[in-house]
Amino acid sequence: MTLPAAIQSADGHPVVDTHAHQPTAEFLEDAGGEMMADAASEFGTSVETWDYGEMIDEYHAVGIGRAILLGWDAETNTGNPPVPNDYVAEVRDAHPDFFVGFGSVDPWKDDADAEARRCVEDLDLSGFKFQQIAQGFDPSAPEHRELFDTIEDLGVPVVFHGGSSTLGAGTPGGRGLKLKYGDPMLIDDVAADHPEMPILLAHPAFPWEKEQLAICRQKGNVYMDLSGWLPRYIDEQVLHYAGTVLRDKVMFGTDYPMIRPERWLEDFAEQTDYDEATQRKLLWENAEAFLGL
Ligand SMILES: [Zn+2]
């Protein structure tokens, strides 16, 4: 297998995957429901599950030492149960050297604010993840401002979904999911109103990559990752920015288990020609700075 040169000379320094989901039924079957099965069949596969021991072994085999494990609560919009924050904390506690836990709150629930506080103050989770398309909300709408005020106050970073989604793909009406909520311009508002809140826009935000690059350049508190897409499918301009003007702000991520780390890293080694210093930034230095590791 061909891995990026920086990994071979990393001297045991852990590469950080900024975007991982559970390879278990909690995410893939319970929270994912039919919209996840649609996404799997769109990629010509079916939903399979395995445990965290196997997951961590798979990462270690390619030199990845840490991953952000994301919660999921889109219950109001999808009717599916959440991946509970307590569960994310439990998995993190079982593998504290490997996982960084990010909670999720459903912005439509009455206790969203209190749950956000509980995540950080009681469960010691390190940040939050929103999936605006699955959760069916416009993050720039005034009714959600208080939730982001609370999170900014808590002093932790937030991951927002960026771009289109394969959830519900190919079904009539896409199972009612609305792609407009994945437009990164909605996050530009949130970033402007919450300058102290570090924001990671997950995925090259197809078909709004240019908007995403503009936001990452203009907003000091907005970053992005390369998860959810094999490098061969990532827009040229994104890859160019990642090696130049945004080389301190772009991070590696997979979107595990939809994309597996070995596959992504091999493709990265084959498709790109960043120097080792840039590879180190993309593969772990930027994530460490973002997360304060
Ligand atoms: Zn994801």
Output the CA angle 15-17-20, nearest 5 degrees. Answer: 155
Looking up tokens 């999170």 gives 151
Q: Report how far ligand 1's centroid is from the alpha carbon of 288 (Å).
A: 20
Q: Report how far ligand 1's centroid is from the alpha carbon of 40 (Å).
A: 13
Q: Report how far ligand 1's centroid is from the alpha carbon of 63 (Å).
A: 21
Predicted local confidence at residue 43, as pLDDT: 75
Q: Report how far ligand 1's centroid is from the alpha carbon of 56 (Å).
A: 18
Domain that holds residue 230: 14-291
Predicted local confidence at residue 9, as pLDDT: 81
3-state secondary structure of 19: strand
Residue spans of beta strands (DSSP E) within 43-90: 64-70
Q: What contacts 258, CB < 8 A, 6 or more positions away?
A: 21, 39, 43, 228
Residue 118 lies in a domain: yes
Q: Report how far ligand 1's centroid is from the alpha carbon of 118 (Å).
A: 23
Predicted local confidence at residue 2, as pLDDT: 87
Q: Residues in the chain with pLDDT < 70?
A: none
Residue spans of beta strands (DSSP E) within 168-281: 199-202, 222-225, 250-251
CB 103 within 8 A of CB 128: yes
Q: How far apart are the C-alpha atoms of 103 and 128, rounded to whole Å? A: 5
Predicted local confidence at residue 167, as pLDDT: 95
Query: Based on the structure, what is the number of domains in the chain?
Result: 1
Q: Report how far ligand 1's centroid is from the alpha carbon of 224 (Å).
A: 13
Report the CATH number that the domain containing residue 278 is assigned in CATH.
3.20.20.140
Residue 101 lies in a domain: yes
CB 293 within 8 A of CB 16: yes
